Structure 1
Amino acid sequence: MAAADTSQLFHVVVLLAAAVVAVPLFRRLGLGSVLGYLAAGVAVGPFGFALFARPEAILHVAELGVVLFLFVVGMEMRPSHLWALRRQIFGLGPLQIGACALVLSGCGLLLGLRPAVAFIAASGFVLTSTAIVMQMLAERGDIATPRGQKMVSILLFEDLLIVPLLALVAFMAPAQVAGDGGSRLLSIAIAAASLAALVAAGLFLLNPLFRLLATARAREVMTAAALLVVLGAALLMEMGGLSMAMGAFIAGVLLSESTFRHQIEADIEPFRGLLLGLFFLAVGMSLDLAVVAADWRFVLLAVPLMMCAKAACIYAVARALRAGHADAMDRAVLMAQGGEFAFVLYSAAQSAGVIPGEVNNAMTAVVVLSMALTPLAILVTRGARRRRAASMDGVEPASGQSGSVLIIGFGRFGQVMSQSLLARDVDVTIIDSDVDMIRSAASFGFKVYYGDGTRLDVLHASGAGSARAIAVCVDDAGAADRIVELAKGAFPQARLLVRAYDRAHKLKLVAAGVDVAIRETFAAALQFGEAALRELDVDPGEAARVTAEVRKLEVERFELERMAGFGAGAGMMRTNTGPKPTPLTTPRRQARVLGPDGEPGDDPAGPPAPGA
C-alpha cells in the first residue's frame, strides 16, 4: 500500500517537475508554454526516459483541462453574443472546413490512402486543436478581438462537427461491425435527450443552486459546485455520445448571464491551468517515436503536406471573405495543425473497421507532430509581429495607474469629452490600443497609456479599481459591450459612462445598467439641424424652440422603445413621405423629465442645455 502510494506520488512529482523546468525555459527562449509542455511530455513519456508506461490514461484525465477551458470560454459567450456570431459560426466555419476537407482528402490520396481512409484522415486533421489555439490567443490577449472571435467561431463549429463525423463513421462501417439502424436511431435519441436535459438544467437549476450556496458563505462549497457543474455537464454529454468539451461549453453559455459568473471563473481558474498543462504533457507522451521510425517516409511527407495544404486553404478562404493579409496569415499559421478530437475520430474509425490500425497510429503521430510544430511555425512567422512590436518604442503600457476618471479610447469622441474634465483639473487616466494615436496625442501634450480595455487585467492596471468614473469612448460597439460587462462585475464603485454607437446600442446599454449612455452623433445632429433652420432665416429663438421640441419627442420615443422594444416608436418620427406634419407647438410643461440624451434633465420645452 505504501509502495503504491509512493509510486503515485513519484509520478505526480515527475509531472510537476517536468512542467516547472520545461515551460519557463521554453518561454525564455521565445518558444511558448505549449511547446514546453509537449517537449516535457516527450522527455518523461514511454519514448523518452520511460517514466510513464500508459500515457493514454493520463491523457483521459488531462482532457478535463480542455473541458474546463471550454467552460470558461462559454462563460464569455452570452447567448446574445453567440447569436451575433451565428454567421461566422455557421458561415465561415463550414466554408473553411469544407475547403480544407476537400483539399486534405486529395492530399491523402497523394499519400497512397484509399478514398474512404483518405477522407477520414482529412476529416480528423481538419479538426483544429482548440486547446492550442485558445492558449495561444489567451497568451496574446486576442480572444476578445475581431480576429480572435473569428477563430473562436470556427473552433466552436469544429467542436460541433465531431458529432456528425462520428455518426458518419458508424454509417461507413462494414455491415458486420456497424450494427442495425435501430441502434443508430437510439444513439441519436440518447444524444438529443442528453442535450435537452443539460439545457433544461442550465435554464432552471443552475442559478437557483448558486444563489442558495452563496447564502452559506463557504468559498470551498462554491468552488466544489462550480467543478460539479462543469464535470457533470461533461459527463452527461459523454454518456449521450457527444463531446465532453461541448457539454462544458454549453454549461458556460448558460451561466454567462449569471451574477455569479466572475466568482465561478475565479474558482476554477487554478484547476483549468493545471489540467490544461497536464493535457499538453500527455499529448507529448503520446508521440510514439517507434511508429514515426517505422513509417518515417509517410510521416515525413504527411506532416508538412497536411499543414501547408490546410494553411493555404485557411488563408484563401480568409482572403476570399475580405480579411486582411496579416489576419489571414495569422489564422492560417495558428490553425494549421490537427487537434485532440482527431484522436477520438481515428480510434472510432479503427474500431468500426473503416481505417486499419497502422493508419490510425501513423495519422495520430502526424497530428501530434503538427501540434508540436505549431509554436515553431508561429516563431518562424513572428518577424512581422516583431516589427509591429518594435513600433511600440516610446509607448508606455498601462501599469499601476490611478485617477478619478478612467477614459478608455482617445479618438475624436474621447478627446472632446476629456476637455470638460481637464478644465476642472480632474485627475484622469487615458488608455487606448492605437499606437499611432497615442504618439499623435503625445505631440499635443497628452499622456495616453497603451492598453486593451476589453481585458480585465488591463483595466486593473489602469486604475479602474479606484476610479470614481469609467468613461468608455471606444468606437466599437462590441468592445464597449465587453468593457461594460467587465466593469459592472469587477468595479461596482465606479460610475459607468458609455459612448453608444446608435439607438439600438444605447437601448442595449441602458438595459445593461450603465449610468450614462450618450449616442455619439445625436447632439451634433441636433445642432446641425438648428443651424440649418437659422440659415433658412428662421428666427434664432424659434429655431432653438423647435430643436428643444425635437429633443423632447426623441426622449419620449426612446422611453417607449425602452419599454416596448426597438422600433416601437417609429410612428413618432417625422418623415417627408407622409402627410404634412403639424407644426411643433406643444405647450410648455413644468416637469422633471429625461434630458437631451435620455438622462435626467430640465424641462425639454426650454432651450437646450449647453453642450447637449
Structure 2
Amino acid sequence: MTTIANSQLLQAVALLGAAVLVVPVFRALKLGAVLGYLFAGVLVGPFVLGWFTDPEAILGLAELGVVMFLFVIGLEMRPAHLWALRGTIYGLGLCQLVACGAALTAVAWALGAAPRVAFVGAMGFVLTSTAIVMQLLSESGELSRPAGQKVVAILLLEDLIIVPLLALVAWMAPAHERSATGIPWLAAITGLGCLLALLAAGRWLLEPLFRVLARSRVREVLSAGALLVVLGAALLMQLGGLSMALGAFLAGVLLSQSSFRHQLEADIEPFRGLLLGLFFLGIGMALDLHMVREHLLFVLLGVVAMMLAKALAIYAVGRALGDSHADAMDRALLMPMGGEFAFVLYAGAAASGLMSQEDNARFTAIVVLSMALAPLLSAAVHRLMPKAARPVLPSDVPPCLTGSILMIGFGRFGQVVSQSLLARDIDVTVIDTDVEMVQAASDFGFKIYYGDGTRLDVLEAAGADKAQVIAICVDSRSVADTIVDIGKESFPNATLMVRTYDREHALRMVAQGVSVHVRETFESALRFGSMALVQLGATPTEAEAIADLVRRRDAERFARELEGIDWATAGLANFKRPRPVPWTTPTHQPHPSDTLR
C-alpha cells in the first residue's frame, strides 16, 4: 500500500482528477479556472488530504507553464508595439512600483516587522503574479485591449525589477553574510550578457533554424524546436540570474514577426495550458495552513491590509496619471496580490540572513493567500458593480489578422487571387506549408506565415475565428476537403471560398454547403478559347458572347447533376440536399460540351 501511495503515477492521476473535478465546478459558478486550480491544490496538498508533501517539486516543473504562457504573449507583442508601450512601462509602471512599495513597507512595519524585513516583504508583495493576472485577462477578453496592454507593460517592468531587487537584498545583508553572496554587480553584468546573447540569437539564428526544421516536414521536429527555443531562452535567463518568464517573453517578441509564429503558438499551446494549470495547483499546495493557524492574526491582518494598501496605491497612481475611474478601478482589482517572484526574493533574503525563516514563512503565506483571494475578489466586485459603470472598451484588431480574409495556400492560384484584394488595400493574411514560398513571398512584402491549414489550432492561431472570409486556395482535393470540414464545424460565421479541382470536386463542395467555389482552370480555359476564336476571325464581342453561353450551359448542367446525385450512395447522406441553380433558359438542348468535366 505504501508503494502505491508513493507512486508518481498515482500522484499524476490525483492531480488530474482534482483539476477535472474541481475546475469545471468553479467555472460553472463563474469564479474562474484560476481559483478552481488553487482550491484543488489546497485540497490535495500536505495540509488537507496530504496526497502531496513536497509542493516545491511540483512548482519547479509547473513554472514552465508560466514560461510558455509568456512566450505566447510575446508572440502577440511586436517590437514596434512594445516600443510604443515604453511610456507606460517607465511612466505608469515605475510610479505604481514606487507607490506600492512605499505603502506596503509602511503596512508591514505597522504589523510589527523590522524595517528591513518590512521592506523586503513589501517589495515581494509588489511583484504581482504574472500567471494569474494574464489568465484573468485572457478569460475576460481584455488582453488585447488598451487597458489590458497597460497591465502587460506593468507586469513586464515587475519582471525586470526582480534582478536589481535581488542585488539590493544581497547588499542589505549583514556584513558576515554579504561576503558569501558574491558581488551583486558581477551578477548584473552576467545577466546583461545573457540578455544580449538572447537578443543576438533571436535576431540571427531563430528564423533560419525554423526554416530548416520546417523543410523536414516532420511535425514533431517543429514542435521540439518550439520547445527548445522557449526552454532554451528560459534557461539562458536563469543562468544570468534573470526571470525565466522574461526570457520566454523576449523570445516570443523576437519571433512575433517570424513567418512561423502561428505554427509555434499552436505547437506550444497544449503544453502551456496543462503546465499553467499545474502551476496554480502547486501554489495551492504551497499554502502552509499550519503556519496560518499559528500566526493567524498576523497573516489575516497582513493579507487584508496589504491587499487594500496595494489596491489603493494602484488606483491613486492611475487617477493621478489621467486614467478614468473605471480603468484605474479595474487595475486595482486585478493586481492587489503578490506573485511567484516573491518566493524567490524571500528565499534569497532568508539565505542571506536578512530575513528569518519564520518571517519568510509568514510573508509567503500572506502572498499565497492573496493569490488565492484576488481572483475571487475581482469576480465578486465585478459582479456587484453596475454594468453602466464599466464601459466596454473598443476591441483592438487582433495583431494576427488585421484584414478580413485568411488565405490558405499561396501557390500560383493564391498569388493571382491576392492581386485583386491587394489592389483594394485589403490586408490579407496567408498561411502555407511551402517554406521556400513563405520566404520568397515575405521578401516581396507579403504577410505570409508558415502553417498547416489542416490543423484547427493553427487556424485559430492565424485568426480564422475573426475572419469574414476563409479562402482555401490549396492545390490538393483532400487537403481542401479537410479544411472545409474544419471550417464548417469551427468557424460557422466565416464564408468559405474554395478552389476546386474539377466538376466532381465542385459538386462535393456544394454538397458540403460551400456556396462559393471556382474550378481552378475553368475561367482561364474559357478565356483561352475566346482568344482562339478572335484569332480565327471572330470579333471580341462575338467571342465573349460564346463564352457567356458556355458558362450558362455549364451552370445548367451543374444544376442537373446536383439533382441527379444519390447523396446516400455518394456518402453524403448527412448533408442537406443543395438548392438547384436556376436555369437561365426554359428548355435545354443537348450540346457537345455536356460531356465535359
Which one-letter code corresponds to 2:12 in the other structure?
Answer: V
Q: Using the TM superposition, name which of 175-184 and 119-128 deviates more.
A: 175-184
Aligned to 2:47: 47
Aligned to 1:81: 81
Which of 462, 466, 473 pairs up with 2:470?
466
Assess if the C-alpha contact under 8 Å between 1:194 and 1:237 holds in 2.
yes
Assess if the C-alpha contact under 8 Å between 1:405 and 1:467 holds in 2.
no
What CA deviation, in whole Å up to 9, does each residue of 1:161-184 have, x standing for no partner? 001000100101112211179633
Aligned to 2:28: 28
Structure 1 residues 517-596: aligned runs within 5 Å: none
Tell me the CA shift for residue 28 of structure 1. Answer: 0.6
> How many Å separate the matches in 1 of 2:468 and 2:126?
42
Assess if the C-alpha contact under 8 Å between 2:124 and 2:342 holds in 1.
yes
> How many Å separate the matches in 1 of 2:462 and 2:215?
31
Q: Is residue 104 from structure 1 mapped to residue 127 from structure 2 by the alignment?
A: no
1:47–1:387: structure 2 CA closer, same or farther, 3 Å change rule?
Answer: same
Aligned to 2:298: 298
Aligned to 1:246: 246
Aligned to 1:167: 167
* Partner SS state of residue 470, structure 2: coil
> How many Å separate the matches in 2 of 1:26 and 1:231?
31
* Partner SS state of residue 179, structure 1: helix
Tell me the CA shift for residue 240 of structure 1. Answer: 1.4
| Bigger relative contact order (CA 8 A; separation at least 6) | 2
Tell me the CA shift for residue 215 of structure 1. Answer: 0.5
> How many Å separate the matches in 2 of 1:17 and 1:376?
23
> How many Å separate the matches in 2 of 1:110 and 1:385?
32
Which one-letter code corresponds to 1:28 in the other structure?
Answer: A
Which one-letter code corresponds to 1:230 in the other structure?
Answer: V
Structure 1 residues 101-500: aligned runs within 5 Å: 101-179=101-179, 183-383=183-383, 387=387, 460-461=464-465, 463-466=467-470
Assess if the C-alpha contact under 8 Å between 2:405 and 2:469 holds in 1.
no
Assess if the C-alpha contact under 8 Å between 2:292 and 2:299 holds in 1.
yes
> How many Å separate the matches in 2 of 1:256 and 1:9?
38
Tell me the CA shift for residue 73 of structure 1. Answer: 1.0
Tell me the CA shift for residue 6 of structure 1. Answer: 7.8
* Partner SS state of residue 11, structure 1: helix
Aligned to 1:596: none
Aligned to 1:583: none
1:4–1:167: structure 2 CA closer, same or farther, 3 Å change rule?
Answer: farther
1:314–1:21: structure 2 CA closer, same or farther, 3 Å change rule?
Answer: same
Aligned to 1:520: none
1:493–1:185: structure 2 CA closer, same or farther, 3 Å change rule?
Answer: farther
Which one-letter code corresponds to 1:288 in the other structure?
Answer: D
* Partner SS state of residue 183, structure 2: helix
- Flag structure 2 segments of 5+ consecutive residues without an equivalent: 393-402, 407-458, 473-493, 499-597
> How many Å separate the matches in 2 of 1:264 and 1:251?
12
Which one-letter code corresponds to 1:466 in the other structure?
Answer: I
What CA deviation, in whole Å up to 9, does each residue of 1:340-376 have, x standing for no partner? 1101100110001111111110110000100111121
Which one-letter code corresponds to 1:157 in the other structure?
Answer: L
Which one-letter code corresponds to 1:233 in the other structure?
Answer: A
Tell me the CA shift for residue 322 of structure 1. Answer: 1.5
> How many Å separate the matches in 2 of 1:462 and 1:123?
41
Assess if the C-alpha contact under 8 Å between 2:174 and 2:353 holds in 1.
yes
Q: Using the TM superposition, name which of 173-182 and 199-208 deviates more.
A: 173-182
Tell me the CA shift for residue 457 of structure 1. Answer: 8.1
1:389–1:272: structure 2 CA closer, same or farther, 3 Å change rule?
Answer: farther
Assess if the C-alpha contact under 8 Å between 1:41 and 1:285 holds in 2.
yes
> How many Å separate the matches in 1 of 2:389 and 2:10?
43
Aligned to 1:67: 67
1:460–1:255: structure 2 CA closer, same or farther, 3 Å change rule?
Answer: closer
> How many Å separate the matches in 2 of 1:405 and 1:144?
18
Assess if the C-alpha contact under 8 Å between 1:31 and 1:375 holds in 2.
yes
TM-score by length of 1: 0.64
Tell me the CA shift for residue 380 of structure 1. Answer: 2.1
> How many Å separate the matches in 1 of 2:229 and 2:461?
26
> How many Å separate the matches in 1 of 2:239 and 2:497?
45
> How many Å separate the matches in 1 of 2:12 and 2:227?
21
What CA deviation, in whole Å up to 9, does each residue of 1:436-474 have, x standing for no partner? xxxxxxxxxxxxxxxxxxx96896445534369xxxxxx
Assess if the C-alpha contact under 8 Å between 2:262 and 2:462 holds in 1.
no
Aligned to 1:91: 91
Which one-letter code corresponds to 1:64 in the other structure?
Answer: L
> How many Å separate the matches in 2 of 1:371 and 1:97?
18
Answer with 1 or 2: which has the greater Rg. Answer: 2
Assess if the C-alpha contact under 8 Å between 1:38 and 1:372 holds in 2.
yes
> How many Å separate the matches in 2 of 1:181 and 1:347?
13
Assess if the C-alpha contact under 8 Å between 2:265 and 2:461 holds in 1.
no
Aligned to 1:57: 57
> How many Å separate the matches in 1 of 2:343 and 2:495?
43
* Partner SS state of residue 466, structure 1: strand
Provide the alpha-carbon RMSD of the alignment: 2.9
What CA deviation, in whole Å up to 9, does each residue of 1:173-207 have, x standing for no partner? 11221117963343223222211211111111110
Aligned to 2:581: none
1:324–1:492: structure 2 CA closer, same or farther, 3 Å change rule?
Answer: farther
Assess if the C-alpha contact under 8 Å between 2:326 and 2:389 holds in 1.
no
Aligned to 1:555: none
1:491–1:303: structure 2 CA closer, same or farther, 3 Å change rule?
Answer: farther
Tell me the CA shift for residue 334 of structure 1. Answer: 0.4
Structure 1 residues 498-517: aligned runs within 5 Å: none
> What is the percent sequence identity of the aligned residues?
58
Assess if the C-alpha contact under 8 Å between 2:181 and 2:352 holds in 1.
no
1:29–1:163: structure 2 CA closer, same or farther, 3 Å change rule?
Answer: same
TM-score by length of 2: 0.66
1:10–1:405: structure 2 CA closer, same or farther, 3 Å change rule?
Answer: closer
Assess if the C-alpha contact under 8 Å between 2:471 and 2:496 holds in 1.
no
* Partner SS state of residue 331, structure 2: helix
1:406–1:39: structure 2 CA closer, same or farther, 3 Å change rule?
Answer: same
Q: Is residue 18 from structure 1 mapped to residue 18 from structure 2 by the alignment?
A: yes
Assess if the C-alpha contact under 8 Å between 2:163 and 2:188 holds in 1.
no
> How many Å separate the matches in 2 of 1:238 and 1:191?
9
> How many Å separate the matches in 1 of 2:172 and 2:226?
39
